[in-house]
Structures are given as structure tokens and as C-alpha cells.
Amino acid sequence: AALLSGRNHHSVGMGNITETATSAPGQSSVRPNTKAPLALTLKLNGYSTAQFGKCHEVPVWQTSPIGPFDAWPSGGGGFEYFYGFIGGENNQWEPALYEGTTPIEPPKTPEEGYHLTEDLADRAIAWVSQQKALAPDKPFFMYFAPGATHAPHHVPKEWIDKYRGQFAHGWDHQREITFARQKELDVIPQNAELTPRHAEIPAWDDMDDRLKPVLERQMEVYAAFLEHTDEQVGRVIQALENLEILDDTLVYVIVGDNGASAEGTLQGAFNEMANFNGLAGLETPEFLLSKLDDFGAPDSYNHYAVGWAWAMSSPYKWTKQVASHWGGTRNGTIVRYPKIIREKGGIRHQFCHLIDVAPTVLAVAGIPEPTMVNGVLQSPYEGTSMVYTFNDAAAPERHDVQYFEMFGNRGIYYKGWSAITKHRTPWIMTGQTMVPFDDDIWELYDGSTDWTQARDLSREMPEKLHELQRQFLIEAVKYNVLPLDDRQVERVDPATAGRPTLVRGNSQLFFAGMGRLSENSVINIKNKSFSVTAELNIPPEGADGVIIAQGGRFGGWSVYTHDGKAKFVYNVLGIQSFVTEATETIPAGKHQVRMEFAYDGGGLGRGGNVTLYYDGQPVGTGRVERTQAFIFSADETTDIGYESGTPVAAEYTSKTSRFTGKIGWVQLDVGTDAHDHLIDPEERLKIIMARQ
């Protein structure tokens, strides 16, 4: 959001990810129309615009197939063409893709050689080639944002094999290797210090020896994923060269995602959703070892251990989410534009921020910062053009104050100094005891002599620390950072967070063919009793297929028929599946099939009893021992009459999931008690009226 708008993330309502938006202005996930994105400004000035890959700036209640699409890239985002996914991450093998605002399926399967990053590069190359063929004199703006190297770390096996055995030395030594290479390449000052490992991060030598083959494999997969991504970016750059337009194009390559991600737990994850649901303990060493050869493959949704994230953030402390420290904010950036930049391979150390990119693009394009867009008066850009650094490595710094904040981790950069405080730990998703903000311990660093925040001066210079703390509050008030909010998984629930929802009440009606409904487009069935009732028309030969499914291979539930019998499966993270099957087939003709799940209560993520009904008569019972408390998936959806993406149940595939009978309607009810286990005439009237 900051990159595409030229404003601080809280200024455009993106103080955090959209899934944790609140009612606070800086956390709402809604960009004000007084802060038009860069792409829209360029489009209105005659540019062709396109985005490929990740878009994580759409409010979650606006991610359904009916929009509204104001915040989508090809809606109000200013991009004439969009090909990619909506959300923070996606399965690289079987992604939930959109072209514009239309959900589409990948052109190939993993077995046929599909991979999302390769597909994005293919599409980007095709788009820019067509743009230059049809409008050679028209400038273009392309935003290429692959899901890599965000989790899940998915990459073809032949790329992984290249790195076998290369990380047996562990993350402590890898960090030292990276640090030495950084100095060798002069990308960090020669007097920079390597910061020590924090006590919350275990040493490699202290890790369970049984786990070390798994830990090595995690880093092998990640390294392969990174190289594979670099190859695809290189293909896009080569396409510009082949079109003879590379030297006329300003190219930004921003390497990283706010520091390496430490959301994969201390031992890593085969399915990162386990940690998001407080169930990382299900992935025992024995389980992880059994999956050793599957890391990075289509059956995985993997992430590496915290120690590797710390190593990848060398030479700094901490990782992504810890926005206070450089390890959670600083990323290497490459800028190429030979029309202005005379030096090749030069290094610049002036402080720059993502909000500086948009002003730089406009400056190079010769377009003034807009004061009015679509009749709306615009607030000024909050960044500073970086052009002044292009040909003067010693130019005085112009961006000399910048705040940082995420989940209460916060800090301030001010004229070479930084004052920072870590408030919470990224990999502890649930059960973390938070100290009051006023009790946070602040650190102070002099960037002119300490480039890596290695020597804390807070005790020696308390007045300087207080000066920077006051400066943080000034910036925080100015840019909607307050009130601070350190809640994490609690904010996944819209009711707790205080944000809008697309659907309200305890009942939701669906019809055959509806699909690709994001988790926030469906009423929340977690941690409570719920039922599914479907009106089906069964042909004489019987019917098989999905009636309704939510989630996929890595967590979710499905009501479907197999061999003519109704079945319910609750898939816990791809680790445990609880199946209930009817004792008899569904007769031919029109019938109501119902599944009731009676939640045990007494806390989050508990189990419950399952009963299946045909026309109000019980035909099967079962048990679900545990459930997912917070989230099924970051990318899988809810579908009616079929299942897109990966399948919840092992008995069908996405291709064989389509229901072979007819579905009149499907109703999902939460927390209701239907004594006759049927949708009665009064409820039927409600269904009919809902169709009007």
C-alpha cells in the first residue's frame, strides 16, 4: 500500500494486513480517495498499466465475486489489466487466480508443469510485448509482484536438488557466511557489526538432531524458491531487452518482504496454517520427518524455521513483523535507469523508504504530483523523490524522519538516529502475554557509527532517547498510527476487530455454481455448532460430488456424496481427517440432505458430534475430535456443487468434484437448533424471498 500510494501505510488505512483490519482509521484497510494510487495517476496521464501477482490491499469484505471492486487493481487501483491473486499468499502449484475481477483456473496442473511464478512471468512478457506491438509510442507501468518468496515455499524438485547438503552448517554459521559476503560485495559498511542472536531464537546446535534433516531441507527449498523467482524476474527483464526498451525503462527491483518471515515456528512447518490455529504441536518431529521429501511439493504448504528467517535477515536483529528493528524493515533495492544513472553498480546509503518510490517514478516521468484526481482534492505524497541520489553518492539525505509500526513493534528513524522497541514476538500467534505499551523497553542507536543497530545507547543518552520518542508520537499522530493495537489472531474475527462483514446473521443461502467465495465472504462456523441443509434432485443412477466445501487440502470441511451416500469430512490441517458417512444411499428424486455439527463448547478449537439426515431422518453419526479455531486457509475458498483449488477430501479431486445430480439450494446455519432437522415451510419462504 505504501509502495503504490507514496504514503505511509497507516495513512492509507493499511496499518496491518486486511484480514486484521479494525475500525480505526489507520487500520481500516480502506484507502481514502484523497490518496489516489500511483497507477491511477499514470493511467490518467496516458500510460498503459498492468499488475501481475499479489494484491493484498483489498478489504476482506470486498473480496467476493460481487465486489465492490473499488480497491481491486483493475477496479479503482489504476491498473487496466490484472492477473494474479487477492490476498497475502497463495498456493504456487494450484493458485486461486483472477484476471481482472473474474476468477479463473490455472491454465495447467502441477503434473503438467504449472507453477505460478512462471505463469506470472509468461503473462507479464505477453502483456508488455502486445503493448509495444499495438501502441509502441505509449509509455507503460508494470507492477510485477510474485507471491514468492512468501510462504508457502513451492518450487520444482530439480531446483531443490541443486541445494542438497548446502545448509548442513545451520543458521548461526549461515548468518556469518552472509555477513562476510555482504562486506565482500560492499553492500554494507566495512565497520558494520554482526548483531548477536536473541535468546528467543535457539542456536542451531541446540536443535533436536532428529529434526536437523528437516531443517536443512526447509532452507534448501527456500534457496531454490529464491533462485527460481530470480530466474522469472530475469525473464521479464530479458523481454524488455529483446523489445529494445530496457534502457528507456525505469526498473525497481525490491528484494524482500519487510525482512525474512519468522512465522514458521521454531521448528518450521509443513503446513503454516497449523501455527495460525495454535496447533503447531500436531507437527511432531516424527510427522515432519515423514514429510521430508514432500517439502516444496504440491502436497505441502511449508515454511522454514525461525532460525533461518533470522539468518536471512543478516546482519540485523529480528525479522519481518518486528518493524522496530532493521531486520524487520530493511530490504535491498536495485534501481536501473541508464538515461539518468551514469554509474553502474554503485551503492547508495541515504535513507530511503517505500513511500519514496512513487515520487521518484513521477519525477522521472516528468509528471507533477496530482492535486486533484477524479474531482477529489489529493493530500500530498509523504515520500521524497530518490532522484537526487542517482548520481551523487554523497548527497545529503532528504528523507530524514520515518516512523515504523506493526502489532505494537515500533520505532522512529530521525536524522541518522533510531529509537525502537520490540513489543511482541512474530512466531507466537496465540497465548502470548502482552506487556502494556508503557512498559516496553526502548533502545537507541546512532546510525552514523552503528549501521546494524548493534550498540544500544539508551542508558548513556536518555535525553536523546526521549527526543526520539517524542518524535515518534508526533509522527504517529500525524499519520493515524494511534491507537496502537497489539492484538493478532483476535483481530481475525470481524466482530472482535470491529470491521464490516459481507454477510450478517446466522444463516446464509447458496445456489449451485457459486464459488471462489473467500473465507470472509461466508458466515463464520468456527468454534460453534452449525448445520448444512441442501435440496438435491438425485437421478435414478444416483449422484456423486461436492455439495458444499470450504477450504482445501490443508484444512477445511466438505459435505459431499460418494457411491451415492452423503458424507461429511472435517480436515484438520491435512494432518487429521474426521469422516462421517451415511448408512444408506440417497434415494432418487428430490430430497433434503442435512449435516449437523454439535460443538462441544468449552473453548476454542474443540471437537463435536456429527449427524447426517435424509428428509429429517438420521442416517449416520460421527465424531470430530478437534477443529481449526481461527482460519482454514489463506487462499482456498468455498464452492457449491464443485471444489476449486485443492480438495478437502481424498475421495475426489477438483476435476472429479462436480456434483452429478442437481442442487436446488444449500443453506448454512450457525448456532441454530432445528428440532425436526428440516428446512420448514417458513424457512423455505425465506429462501424464496432471498431469490427476489
Which residues, listed in sequence order, are joined to residue 545 by a DSSP beta bridge? 561
Query: Once rounded to an integer, what is the mean pLDDT over residues 34-47?
Result: 98
* 3-state secondary structure string across 530-563: EEEEEEEEECCCCCCEEEEEEEECCEEEEEEEEC
* Of the candidates 81, 211, 71, the residue with the CA atom closest to the CA atom of residue 144: 81
pLDDT given at position 690:
47
Read off the pLDDT of each residue in 124-133 and give the average, rounded to a whole number.
Answer: 99
Query: What's the angle, vertex CA 602, arms to CA 596 and CA 606, rounded to 5?
Result: 55
Question: What tens digit of pLDDT does each residue of 527-580 get?
Answer: 999 999 999 999 999 999 999 999 999 999 999 999 999 999 999 999 999 999
Sign of CA dihedral 475, 478, 480, 482: positive
Q: Which fold has domain 503-690?
A: Jelly Rolls (2.60.120)
Each residue of 166-202: b (16+ CB within 10 Å) or e? ebeebbbebbeebbeebbeeeebeeebebbebeeebb
**pLDDT at position 679:** 77
Query: Looking only at Cα atoms, what is the longest distance across the chain?
Result: 84
Give the pLDDT band (50/70/90) at residue 688: very low
pLDDT in tens, 214-237: 999 999 999 999 999 999 999 999
What's the distance, CA 360 to chain centroid?
27
**What pLDDT is attached to residue 389?**
98
- Nearest-angstrom CA–CA distance, 237 and 232: 9
Would strands 608-614 and 417-421 be described as parallel, antiparallel, or unpaired? Answer: unpaired
Q: Please tell me the pTM assigned to this model.
A: 0.95
Instruction: Return the SS3 of 327.
Output: helix
What phi and psi values does residue 672 have, to the nearest 5 degrees?
Answer: -105, 155
- How far, in Å, are 90, 175, 295 from residue 151 at the CA level? 8, 21, 12
Please, what is the average pLDDT of the chain?
Answer: 95
**What 3-state DSSP class applies to 204?**
helix
**Amino acid 257: pLDDT:** 76
- Beta carbons of 338 and 293 less than 8 angstroms apart: no
The answer to whether residues 357 and 6 touch, using CB atoms and an 8 Å cutoff, is yes
Grid coordinates representing 431 are 497465548
Confidence of residue 94 (pLDDT cuts 50, 70, 90): very high
Q: How many CA atoms lie within 13 A of 349 on its CB side?
A: 12
Grid cell at residue 584: 444408506
Q: Where are the domains of the chain?
A: 152-226+256-329, 503-690
Q: Which residues contact 237 (CB under 8 A, 6 or more apart)?
A: 246, 251
3-class DSSP string for 390-410: HCCCCCCCCCCEEEEEECCEE
pLDDT surpassing 80 at residue 69:
yes
- Please report, rounded to a whole number, the percentage of residues in the chain having pLDDT higher than 70: 97
Residue-wise pLDDT for 251-278, tens only, equals 999 998 788 999 999 999 999 999 999 9
Mean pLDDT within 157-168 = 98
At 235, which helix (H) or strand (E)? helix 212-242
Whole-number pLDDT of residue 664: 97
Report which of 388, 144, 403 is spatially closest to residue 254, judged by C-alpha positions. Answer: 144
> 212-242 and 116-134 helices cross at what angle (nearest 10)?
10
Q: Give the CA distances from residue 169 to residues 20, 157, 333, in Å, rounded to whole numbers and listed in that order.
A: 38, 22, 28
Whether 151 shows a pLDDT value over 80: the answer reads yes
Can you tell me which residue has the cell 469484505?
61
Separation between Cα atoms, residue 274 and residue 490, nearest integer Å: 16
Return the pLDDT at 488.
84
Judged against a pLDDT cut of 80, whether residue 438 lies above it is answered with yes
Query: Using DSSP, how many helices (H) and how many strands (E) does the chain show?
Result: 14, 24
Q: Is the pLDDT of residue 306 over 60?
A: yes
